[in-house]
A and B are shown apart, each in its own frame.
Chain A
Amino acid sequence: MTTETVTPAPSSGKLSVRSLLQSNLRDFGLVIALLVIMVFFQITTNGVLFKPVNLTNLILQNSYIIIMALGMLLVIIAGHIDLSVGSVSGFIGAVAAILMVTYKLPAIPVGLLCLIIGAVVGAAQGYWIAYLKIPSFIVTLAGMLVFKGLSLAVLGGASVGPFPTEFQLLSAGFIPDLIGPWNIGGTPLHATTLVIGVVIVAAMLITGFRTRTRRISNGYDAEPTALYIVKNAIIALLILFFTYLLASYKGLPNVLIVMSILITLFVFITKRTTLGRRIYALGGNSKAAQLSGIKTERLTFIVFIIMGVLAAVAGLIFAARLNTATPKAGQGFELDVIAAVFIGGASAMGGVGQVAGAVIGAFIIGVMNNGMSIMGVNIDWQQVIKGLVLLGAVVFDVYNKKKA
């Protein structure tokens, strides 16, 4: 044969810092944006933002948004949208209230039942979207109206509460200090919280290091050493700093534990499982995915069930936090959730998005809500500013893509 063939060199060796920064501009930019916003509000609120009590509040206030953002991320990667999550979470809160308050049923079985109801709600909506190919925008718009109405009906138009104490712990509780408070520099610190923080940082560093060594020994691309060290040092310090702040108040809130477990689970699903990979493939090109043997309909159905369960979790947390179920609960949440996912870099066309991005996106929204409230910015202007930030983030994305 006379054709010239150029054998492609196997990709190996190290990537340069510059190319890595360029290709990860979006991710770095997002973290930097969050830090800038935090510092900005730290200054404008005269240091209130980072006060341990406010930081704890910030987490409690945003937990349900972040949890729903995880599900919404999958929905959006799959190329769909879910407008009903706010109403569904409100509906679940209402059901929980009736069962626990009116019928005095125990908290844990009711909680589990609510998760199942969430799954059923997700399946009920997902069925039309996945199998009958009705646009998700329409189905979930209908769902939004239906569940808004059902919450009203279930509650009979009134607020129902208060919840039993053990249920309130979900949102108002903190992990118990098993080791006992330590007195460091005059302030009593929540010792268990500190220990958990240190353990998490250590675990993160060790697994990160092991993966890196394995990659290098197999001859695959790895970040430059300097970047690797700096990046990990910053993340470790940030985590330690926040654990310290939390420890100086009441310790780790229970909600933060739930949230962390879910975040870790979703990072794992999106990065390491075939389920996650197939969702990206579905959103990237559904026809190609189908012709590659992926059961695209069932996959879409599953994604909406997951979304339903997470909306239920969020509904329970929100109800526990307010300690009542109100007919208005959950209204407008979907907007913050969807905004968080898009600010986090997901594409409205599907196929693109990261858990870390969605979580940071949710925090950006949360910090802005919190900071502006402390500053006394009116709710009307808060909306205007949030809207502009969302637009700005997406414009930045599009601009970046064009330049590439």
Chain B
Amino acid sequence: MDTTILEMRGITKTFPGVKALQDVNLDVRAGEIHAIVGENGAGKSTLMKVLSGVYPAGSYDGKIIYQGEEVAFKSIRDSEHKNIVIIHQELALVPLLSIAENIFLGNEQARNGVIDWDETRNGARKLMAMVGLKEDPDTLITHIGVGKQQLVEIAKALSKEVKLLILDEPTASLSEKDSDALLALLLEFKKQGISSILISHKLNEVGKVADRITVIRDGRTIETLNKEDISEDRIITSMVGRSLENRYPTRTPHVGETIFEVKDWNVFHPLHSDRQMIKNVNLHVKKGEVVGIAGLMGAGRTEFAMSVFGKTYGQNISGEVFVHGKKADTSNVARAVDAGLAYATEDRKQYGLNLIDHIKHNITIANLPGVSTMSVLDDMAEMKVANEYRARTNIRSSSVYQTTGNLSGGNQQKVVLSKWLFSNPEVLILDEPTRGIDVGAKYEIYTIINKLADEGKGILVISSEMPELLGICDRIYVMNEGRIVGELAGSEASQEKIMRAIVRAEGKTA
């Protein structure tokens, strides 16, 4: 376990105007799982791009020594030749090709350019068995879930006889079950002598599998911790450069009358009209209350929220929505917004932001009448609004004219929140509001949520991170397979009770 497979020494990478990495050191031993943690924008991904040749040798300073010799990768192909494989946060699979085709993409099982399909399928089956993926190799990528897609990526890496596997936030969009399976797989690889570098925000995962942890902050290596020194508090302290006694801001709830209620909500799958996705859901949110919806991936929480918000998901939707006791028309997004609803999506890049436009335009887009008279925009008013919300949600940017695509995940999320705050809703539905965001930014988002509740709004939070729901919610609904299977007061809820509600429900349907 003592041979060092990789050593990065004094890596410095400068972008115009920014020093992204400064004298970073990292060493990875053969057959270890080495975690890299750090806040968003700390430089983790940049470091991995340097390692894998995305940023070619020469564009950075410092040395990379791999298997005892200095290497200078000019491209990702070079690093792959040395059996280093990186799996990015955004999966690089072709959705309309099959699993087998994706596994061997760029490495086709072919003779003289003619693909040998038997070889391709057999090879794929072998690799799929290694990662525990039970699917037909001819299944298209688009037909399998994110968790399985992740496994395809790993199978693809294995096909390249990987020696050093780099995973960038591999569990960000996975359910707990899929995440555990993935982590178990990493431990399995470790036994086979494959080293892994794991980049993750989820400290509990890191604690479970990592042998050592390197903490990066502001483009510098802070420290490398050994397994026996790993504790969540220790990592957090090191990551943020301060101790975080409380990860959730405290709040005394002032709960009023019911302001939002959904009755007998039923939704069918948008393509398969016989598949009922949401089954008879009833729920309500009171004034000043933060209500959570817990559940596993695929429980139907996002589908529920989107179907309520302007029927943006599903078909044959039936049921009633009440805002302030009055029946509300939410048949399209504009009407839902008028009725006082807001929905901040779980996927801010795809559904939340216009990434090529700047902060100002993104903040006002859901409420243009608020900055215009007779459809004519008032530039000054818009400027004022943008600056006000930028300060209120603490968006870190050079100005409101910064393109949202260049912001970090946390700041992008604050722009999405600002957009919906400016539409002045009564009820905010926040879908995974802190996904892929660092600890510090999470705290800021929680603070905003609390402030909104104190102002008398109703907040509905969908989250896959149970500690987060337990930390911020006054009441938690548990959802499973499109049904509400439990309701717990915040004070009495626990991770165990939520899981028990889910398991009990699965037992019933089975």
Stretch of B51-59, B83-91, B194-202, B365-373 on the interface side: B365-373
**Would you list which residues of chain A between 271 and 312 have a CB under 8 Å from chain B?**
272-275, 277-278, 280-281, 284-285, 287-295
A289 to B337, CA, bound (A): 13
| Number of chain B interface residues as a range | 35 or more
CB-nearest residue of chain A to B403: A404
Question: Among the listed A3, A220, A278, A285, which residue makes an inter-chain contact with B444, where contact means beta carbons less than 8 Å apart?
Answer: A3
Are B400 and A218 in touch, CB under 8 angstroms?
no
Q: Identify 11 residue pairs between A and B in the complex whose beta-carbon atoms are under 8 Å apart, listed by A's number.
A: A3-B444, A11-B400, A274-B376, A280-B357, A281-B354, A285-B356, A288-B351, A292-B333, A294-B333, A295-B332, A351-B354
In the assembled complex, the CB of A299 is this many whole angstroms from the nearest CB of chain B, namely 12
Question: Among the listed A6, A214, A273, A292, which residue makes an inter-chain contact with B366, where contact means beta carbons less than 8 Å apart?
Answer: A292
Are A291 and B312 in touch, CB under 8 angstroms?
yes
B347-380 near A? 1/0 per residue, CB < 8 Å: 0001111111100010001101100100111011
Question: Among the listed A221, A272, A275, A289, which residue makes an inter-chain contact with B365, where contact means beta carbons less than 8 Å apart?
Answer: A289
Contacts of B399 in A (CB 8 A): 11, 221
Question: Among the listed A3, A11, A221, which residue makes an inter-chain contact with B443, where contact means beta carbons less than 8 Å apart?
Answer: A3
Does A1 reach chain B (CB closer than 8 Å)? yes
Are A290 and B312 in touch, CB under 8 angstroms?
yes
Question: Among the listed A3, A281, A293, which residue makes an inter-chain contact with B333, where contact means beta carbons less than 8 Å apart?
Answer: A293
Does A4 reach chain B (CB closer than 8 Å)? yes
Contacts of B440 in A (CB 8 A): 3-4
Q: Which residues of B contact A (CB under 8 A)?
A: 240, 242-246, 249, 309-310, 312, 332-334, 336-337, 343, 345, 350-357, 361, 365-366, 368-369, 372, 375-377, 379-380, 383-384, 387, 390-391, 394-401, 419, 423, 440, 443-444, 447
CB-nearest residue of chain A to B334: A293
Does A8 reach chain B (CB closer than 8 Å)? yes
A362 to B243, CA, bound (A): 61
Contacts of B354 in A (CB 8 A): 280-281, 284-285, 288-289, 351
Contacts of B375 in A (CB 8 A): 273-275
Contacts of B352 in A (CB 8 A): 288, 291
Are A293 and B394 in touch, CB under 8 angstroms?
no
Contacts of A5 in B (CB 8 A): 394, 444
Question: Among the listed B246, B345, B384, which residue makes an inter-chain contact with A291, where contact means beta carbons less than 8 Å apart?
Answer: B345
Are B394 and A7 in touch, CB under 8 angstroms?
yes
Contacts of A294 in B (CB 8 A): 333-334, 365
In the assembled complex, the CB of B124 is this many whole angstroms from the nearest CB of chain A, namely 32
The 5 closest A-B pairs by CB, nearest first: A11-B399, A284-B354, A292-B366, A274-B368, A293-B334
Contacts of A214 in B (CB 8 A): 380
A278 to B379, CA, bound (A): 15
User: Which residue, of A285, A292, A295, has the highest number of chain B Cβ atoms within 10 A?
Assistant: A292
A184 to B253, CA, bound (A): 81
Question: Among the listed B246, B361, B391, which residue makes an inter-chain contact with A277, where contact means beta carbons less than 8 Å apart?
Answer: B361
CB-nearest residue of chain B to A278: B368
Are A288 and B353 in touch, CB under 8 angstroms?
yes
Are A351 and B444 in touch, CB under 8 angstroms?
no
- How many residue pairs link A and B with beta carbons under 8 A? The number is 122
In the assembled complex, the CB of B205 is this many whole angstroms from the nearest CB of chain A, namely 23
A215 to B379, CA, bound (A): 9
**Would you list which residues of chain A between 1 and 48 have a CB under 8 Å from chain B?**
1-8, 10-11
Does A95 reach chain B (CB closer than 8 Å)? no
User: Which residue, of B312, B368, B369, has the highest number of chain A Cβ atoms within 10 A?
Assistant: B368
CB-nearest residue of chain A to B336: A293
In the assembled complex, the CB of B410 is this many whole angstroms from the nearest CB of chain A, namely 12
With A2-B244, A274-B375, A290-B333 known to touch, is A8 a contact of B356 (CB < 8 Å)?
no
Are B365 and A277 in touch, CB under 8 angstroms?
yes
A278 to B447, CA, bound (A): 31
Does A76 reach chain B (CB closer than 8 Å)? no
A1 to B387, CA, bound (A): 24
With A11-B400, A272-B376 known to touch, is A292 a contact of B312 (CB < 8 Å)?
no
In the assembled complex, the CB of A74 is this many whole angstroms from the nearest CB of chain B, namely 16
Are A280 and B361 in touch, CB under 8 angstroms?
yes
In the assembled complex, the CB of B402 is this many whole angstroms from the nearest CB of chain A, namely 9
Excluding A11-B387, A288-B352, A351-B354, 7 further A-B contacts by CB distance (< 8 Å) are A1-B246, A1-B443, A8-B395, A221-B399, A278-B368, A288-B351, A295-B334
Are B355 and A291 in touch, CB under 8 angstroms?
no
In the assembled complex, the CB of A399 is this many whole angstroms from the nearest CB of chain B, namely 15
Contacts of A2 in B (CB 8 A): 242-246
A401 to B228, CA, bound (A): 47
Question: Among the listed A218, A273, A290, A295, which residue makes an inter-chain contact with B383, where contact means beta carbons less than 8 Å apart?
Answer: A218
A7 to B447, CA, bound (A): 15
With A1-B249, A273-B375, A274-B368 known to touch, is A287 a contact of B350 (CB < 8 Å)?
yes
